[in-house]
Every structure is written in C-alpha cells, then in structure tokens.
Chain A
Amino acid sequence: MSEIDLTITIGSLKLKNPVLLASGTVGYGNEISEFTDLNKIGGIVTKSISLKPRKGNPPQRIVETPSGMLNAIGLANVGVETFIKEKIPFLEKLNATIICNIAASTLEEYIECVRILNNENSITAFEINVSCPNVKDGGLIFGNDVLWVGKITESVRKETSKPIIVKLSPNVPKISEFALVVKKEGGDAVSAINTLVGTAFDIYTRKPKIKNVTGGLSGPAIKPIALAKVLEIKRTVDIPIIGIGGIMNWKDAIEFMIVGASAIQVGTANFINPNVSNEIVDGLKEYCKSQNIQNISSLVGSYVI
C-alpha cells in the first residue's frame, strides 16, 4: 500500500493531518514545544486573544473532578499587541498551521481583533470563541444566543478571507441551530465543543472549590457529550466540524472522526502527556494501515447507524 494520506481539507484550510492542539491548553506553543514536535501535527490553536491583555481570574482557578477538571482561567492572555510582538515570532518559525483563537466582550472587539490579526501572514485561520460574556448586553454569553453567534460570524466574515471556525458552546439545548447559523453567515467550519459549565463544592467549608464558583468542565468526562454534539451537527447541517472534548488518545480521535469530525483538537490531555498529539498522529496512521484506509478523510462521518 502506498503512503497513507492523513491530509484534511476544511474549506480553504488544508491540514497535514487532523490533529490540532486546542485553545487554552498549549499557550502560544513555546512551552509545549520542549516536549513535542509541533511540526508533526495538523496545527495549533492559540490561547484566546483579546484586544487588550487580560489578567484572568483570581485563584483558585482549577480543580480536578472525576476523569475531568473544572477551569475558570478567565481568558488570561497577553492581548493582541503583545501577541504579535512576542508570540508570533516563535509561531512563525514553525512549519505548522497556526489558527488564532479570538475572544471578546463586544461585537466591535471581535471585529477589531480579526482586522488587526488578519495582516499576520503566519495566521492561517481564525477560531472564534463565542463562550465569552457580552458586557454590553448584561454579561450573557454570546455563544448561548443564536442571534449573536450569527451576528459575530457575519461581522468577522467581512474582515477576512481566511477560514473562520466558530467554536460552539455545548451549554445550549440545540447545538445544530448554532452550526446552521454559522454556515448561513459564511463561516467555514465549527468546532465543538467548548467546556461545559460545572461546579464543585467543599463539603466541610461549604464553599465552591474554585473562586469563580462555576467553571468549564473538560477532559475524558465530557467525551460522550462532545461526541453526541458532533453527531447532532453532522446529521443536520452540512458544515465541516472540528471535534473537541476529552480526547486522550488516537482511539478517541478516530471515534470523533467516525461521528463526523473532519479534524480534532486535543485539550486537557496535553497537561498530562504533552507529547500526546504526536502519539495520536502515529496512532491514526497505524489504524489506517490496519484497516486498509488509504485516505483518512474517508473516515469522516462514516458511522453505521
């Protein structure tokens, strides 16, 4: 058999393989590069960037839960200006696809961020994090309101011809409605899922274990939910999906591709095994070999129900 083809195409976005690193779980790439070969994976999604630097939430920001963790980092990041000056030079040197994740508190801020970052040649695509509070509208989460997700997609679309991926919140009754509006407003793909809202309390002090009271649940505990969300989108909307949620190894990655993900992102697993993404790439290749699969893209949505 000839060399197995691991490449994936998502609209105009070409990936050398389906394995991406999830936003917020690899910083801006430099620390994790000591453990793993970033040139070997499909791409890196950088930590959510906002227009101005954000200090983030006070500690305690994280707590472990059964097969998962809650985080309330509060989108701590260096801001667009420092990102360009100090983080892009490292990312530029890599032979890796860089997807820039953007977070904002107003519609205008999303637009401004994309406008500025669009000039950076090293950024191949944008991932829009809509799981942020809308400060002008009572702090409700943008991503939980289908109208806002539509408006954001439409507005950033006007600012760039680079691929736009909208990262969907799972904390909604029907995620496929959100995927549909992204498609209608010209988004190239959706990624699913961001973290699920959760909390944990200390039974002796009766206080929340994280200062923010609630946080985002991630890790293997959320995988079944994430798979169901990806499947729901796949069955209702014709848009490429990037699957995220609890992927710990190549088997999990394959499972996501079968239910409909064109590519996958590895998040929490990086904290435990910072080389896991490279191991997943190897595992995908081996799986394809053993199953006589020539093009990995043929797996996408290949479920038998």
Chain B
Amino acid sequence: MIIEKCIVQSIEKVKSNIFLLKVLSPNISTKGKAGQFCNIKVSENDFPLLRRPFSIHYIENESIYFLFDVHGEGTNLLSQKKIGDIVDIIGPLGNGFNINEDFETAVLVAGGIGVAPFPLLTKSMVNKSIITFYGARNSEYIYDKNLLNINYSTDDGSIGLKGNVIDLLKINLKNLDKQKIKIFGCGPSPMLKALQIFANENNIKCELALESVMACGFGICQGCPIETVDNNYKLICKDGPVFDAKEIIL
C-alpha cells in the first residue's frame, strides 16, 4: 500500500459514459495485481470528501489504467482530468484473484463496468486457456480491449445473445469439464448472486470481485463488511475485494 501522486498520461471517452484513464505510477504499477484496486482522490478539496475505489484495469510498463463509468459527482470529476494533472492514488489495495489454483480454463464473467479488472487478469494468465463472457446493456456499453475469446450478451440484443450473461454462460459451459475450470466474476450484485448460485450448485471453483461503499479502503474504518457463511463479517477492502463464492453471503 502506497500513496502516490500520479501524472495523468491520457484520459479518453472510450464508449458512451465509459472513460479510460492512464496514469504514470512507477510505484503502484510494480506491485499491482489483477483484482486489486486503488483509491483515488478525485478532487483537491473536501468535496467530494472520500476517495473513490477503482479496479486496476491494466498495467503496462510504469502506467496503470483505470476503466470507469460516470456514475455520480466523483466519477464525473475524474472524467474531467486533463493530461498532466496530478491525481493522488492509494494502492494497490486488497487481495487480487487467485490464479495459482489447479484449473485449466479460466472463465471470466463480466457484467457492465465489472469488466474493468479482466484485461490485467487475462494478461496475468499466460499458461491457461481463457473464455470471456461479457454482458452489458447494449453494444454502446461494451469496451473489450485486451480480452480473449469473448462471448457477448446484451439486454437489447444489439450484440451477442439477447439476455443476461448468466444465461449466456449456462449455454456455453455445457461443453466444458466443470472440474477443470475456474470462474472469475465481477459485476453488479444481482449478477454476482446468480453466478454464485450457479457455481456453487455445480461445484465449480469461483471467485467474485465485490464492491462496497468505502471510506478508507485499507481496513481502518470497518465501513465495508460482507457477511460470511460462518456468520461473521469480513472487510471487502482488506479481506477482499475478491472472495471465494463459497465463503460469502450475497
């Protein structure tokens, strides 16, 4: 965990409402792993007060990329950064995906902006085969650079299957040996919940990247609990944001 002042190298609107931010981060970039996140101060004053958490989207040389959706005031301000601006970033935070487990095929399941951590995950897994299932509202919300073997679903059918990403996954997984795959999921909570049920019922290894409102992002405020199956709370920022699907109650 480091606090780093990073220079904005580029910021572009890559799709309707979706921005790609590239910052120079000589320190955090050498440590960050897929599934970890950074906590970004989007303004220089007290409004908004808290940092905003974003997954590490991609790392290349000494640069980190963030892919984000303009949601409210914080992300709006972030989208207005200019090349050369300095942003104050804390990272890398939390625990990333576990890719050292015994599996042959990684099945990446993304819902909407939940695709953000997957390009780095894809880059990290050199000796595994990868299939990606990517669901979004419509084709205008899809940003699929640095992903492999993508199957799409959209609510309006503008690209891929008309329907949700879990249906898409169910159709396509029939041909795979469930013992040899591991699912990695990131997206809105209803999607994660459906994915959790599917993976647990079929006894498939599965990790989910969760979100929570956060004040600190590194375990001191206790603001981001998730209930575990043993009736305790874990902290999404510190014990997660990635959790085994068997461990948590969504």
Contact across chains for B216 and A35 when beta carbons are under 8 A apart? no
Query: When the two chains form the complex, which single residue of B213, B218, B238 contacts A63, counting CB atoms closer than 8 Å?
Result: B213
Contact across chains for A220 and B49 when beta carbons are under 8 A apart? yes
Contact across chains for A272 and B3 when beta carbons are under 8 A apart? no
Query: When the two chains form the complex, which single residue of B48, B49, B222, B225 contacts A58, counting CB atoms closer than 8 Å?
Result: B225
Known: A62-B213, A71-B215, A270-B220. A56 touches B50 (CB 8 A): no
A67 lies within 8 A of chain B by Cβ: yes
Q: How large is the interface on B (under 10, 10 to 19, 20 to 34, 35 or more residues)?
A: 20 to 34
Closest-by-CB residue of A relative to B227 is: A58
Query: When the two chains form the complex, which single residue of A59, A67, A248, A268 contacts B225, counting CB atoms closer than 8 Å?
Result: A59
A55 lies within 8 A of chain B by Cβ: yes
Main secondary structure of the interface of A (DSSP, over half): loop
A26 lies within 8 A of chain B by Cβ: yes
A60: chain B residues at CB < 8 Å are: 212-213
A13 lies within 8 A of chain B by Cβ: no
Query: When the two chains form the complex, which single residue of B220, B226, B233, B238 contacts A56, counting CB atoms closer than 8 Å?
Result: B233
Q: How large is the interface on A (under 10, 10 to 19, 20 to 34, 35 or more residues)?
A: 35 or more
B216: chain A residues at CB < 8 Å are: 270-271, 274
B51: chain A residues at CB < 8 Å are: 271-272
B41: chain A residues at CB < 8 Å are: 272
A15 lies within 8 A of chain B by Cβ: no
A59: chain B residues at CB < 8 Å are: 212, 224-226
A34: chain B residues at CB < 8 Å are: 1, 218
| Residue interface bits B134-172, CB-to-A below 8 A is 1, else 0 | 000000000000000000000000000000000000000
Q: A residues bordering B, Cβ < 8 Å? A: 24-27, 31-32, 34-35, 47, 55-56, 58-64, 66-69, 71, 73, 76, 219-220, 248, 268, 270-275
